[in-house]
Chain A
């Protein structure tokens, strides 16, 4: 178990410069948080740009073109526009809930990134509950949606909020079941352990091969949790105008918008961590290092592996994002009863079955399914 430990290095440097170790730690503390918030925001912005570009390409259009090379600055323009736009709460809305709603959604998504690693030690905190922390926190978001829907004093918003609540409750369970099967295999809930358990044989040891059913369940449920087409019922434009965000503009809308794309990034990262080997490359990098005769503790080798790892996890994440976007522009939307049917009558039983199967396989083939 190698990997660089930035915290220790930084603390060592700072104490070397004459600071007490407590002060050095205090300086360290906010850095990763700010970094993560920035990275996630940029990731979400890239997502919005990708959405435009991919949808444009799929529809034989060009998409944003003049704002920067390939229109890459369009998300910046978007944010700038939304930030300076006046917020207009509707009459008779509940002002407190109206503002709180988007904030809750946004915060809950960003909190989840606490436990999402970009590399061996590149995460804010490696807490033991890891993946369940994500599932728990992300289910706070529907409360925010419900608040927004209720506070807007608009019937469409209310319907959208209710749909969001119903949808997220029904898809939380299959999501958790799929994650549980993974946790069972790796004997841990920690995201780090889950990835390191997939490290041994490169591509061959990724969980997608051992958990194909779980992978499908997780992807479907994650899409539903992100409220993306074909499951974007809470904001179904053709039915509910814009669902819970009907009455939102300006910064509050930006929170919803940013939150939903950050959620997509989160889903992509979770999929890559749980099923696609996280920051592991398709070939075992440590063995390559051994073969080349480089000690795993060599500094430059560590930096290279860390870089490759970050690239790998981002590639995997954005592959998921790409698929989700292409899917969004290819399929119609399901109906609310069909959505719930799919959740309760299809994913839930299959999820349970998958759990049982994993348990059985774990007993039968402990070497393959984590003894």
Chain B
């Protein structure tokens, strides 16, 4: 298109850390030419709390309550990685039942995270109402979490070798109820959002990342899967017991914001199905059933064997991280959440390096928004799905 050449002075505006649509305390220094974005420079560190350094003088047990403050929307994942790292280093076995409970919690947490993402993403491009709808369902998940763990967000539920406590009475039933209730709700969100012409025009073809590029930037999670790469650590790493479930990696080839939207919405559906499967396949079934079997069969029965425990052995407060180093990762809702752990046979880890997905995914932002309109910054940033708690740590 032919445009009249105008030379205007560029305007530098400062978005954040207190901008209404900045997620958390991200700050963007945006150079504008009229409505067009010329350059964008993210400034981080407003929420830096030395999470890695703190880990170096806390025992794992002491550190566990901290980790939910990394990514405070997908809390179960941070706990999972925090217990997985020393677990793998010290070769602590995890009972099957505990593993199933973990998977249920992780998938519920994934749904909660994606729900909030959906709300903020759509709110970022102007529709406020879905935000309230997703909170309705998210509150239900948090009700379930509260019943099982004692807290809505800061669960402190995972333990080295299992989880802190078994599921309470009736929890399995209610979780099933939730899953059946939730699927039609996703349809409802989709009716409200997916085909809305304004929404489509705002996100289609926006912030496109190619396949190669996505790999080269080190993206992970829905950012990567939205660009046509079928990469999901649950399938790649075979951790927990995900292999026993029947599920598919959700991906899309568009590479734009719409593709990422689709990936996340489909992941919510898939996770719901996985939770339902877990509830069905869990060794011992619901806790009340397990109790009944134990009462009936006596103390020496198979119902008291390792498979049916929620934890292999309660970790002692002086649990030592053995010497050695390794990298463990889980597929968090935002992408690959990893921990590089170096132990030196001490109660404190020697090094605790966190690889937060949001931080890595965020680096692609400036190149995505360059040349776009100012309103697109919000849409693209929303589709990247960052949480400053884990970006800054």
Contacts and interface: CB of A to CB of B under 8 A. Distances in A.
User: Do A's and B's CB atoms come within 8 Å in the complex?
Assistant: yes
Interface of A: 55, 58-61, 155-156, 159, 229-230, 232-233, 236-239, 241, 329-338
Interface stretch (B163-171, B192-200, B226-234): B192-200
B123 A334 contact: no
A219 to B, nearest CB: 16
A337 B129 contact: no
B126 A236 contact: yes
A170 to B, nearest CB: 14
B127 A331 contact: yes
Interface in B112-153: 122-129, 132-133, 136
B313 interface: no
Interface stretch (B83-91, B238-246, B315-323, B369-377): B369-377
Contacts of A336: 35, 373, 375
Interface string B366-393: 0000000111111000000000000000
Contacts of B21: 237-239
B11 A335 contact: no
A60 B11 contact: no
Contacts of A334: 198, 201-202
Determine the main DSSP class of A at the interface with B.
Answer: loop
Contacts of B35: 159, 336-337
Contact of B202 (A55, A155, A335): A335
Most buried by A among B11, B19, B32: B19
Determine the main DSSP class of B at the interface with A.
Answer: helix
B127 A59 contact: no
B198 A333 contact: yes
Interface string B49-78: 000000000000000000000000000000
B176 to A, nearest CB: 23
Contacts of B136: 60
Interface residues of B, number: 30
Given A238-B20, A239-B374, A337-B373, A61 B202 contact: no
B297 interface: no
Contact of B127 (A61, A330, A338): A330
A59 B133 contact: yes
A15 to B, nearest CB: 57
B13 interface: yes
A238 B373 contact: no
A55 B128 CA distance: 10
Nearest to A239: B375
A330 B197 CA distance: 12
A331 B201 CA distance: 12
Contacts of A55: 128-129
Nearest to A232: B126
A330 B133 CA distance: 12
20 contacts: A55-B129, A59-B129, A59-B133, A159-B35, A159-B374, A233-B375, A237-B20, A238-B20, A238-B126, A238-B378, A239-B375, A329-B127, A329-B128, A330-B127, A330-B129, A332-B126, A332-B202, A334-B198, A334-B202, A338-B201
Given A241-B20, A331-B199, A333-B202, 15 more contacts: A55-B129, A59-B132, A156-B13, A159-B13, A159-B374, A238-B21, A238-B124, A241-B19, A331-B126, A332-B122, A332-B127, A332-B202, A335-B375, A336-B35, A338-B201
Interface in B8-66: 11, 13, 19-21, 32, 35
Interface in B335-393: 373-378
B34 to A, nearest CB: 8
Contacts of A238: 20-21, 123-126, 375, 378
Contacts of A330: 127, 129, 192
A55 B20 CA distance: 20
A331 B21 CA distance: 17
B189 to A, nearest CB: 12
A220 to B, nearest CB: 12
A229 B129 contact: no
B129 A236 contact: no
A166 to B, nearest CB: 9
Contacts of A230: 126, 198
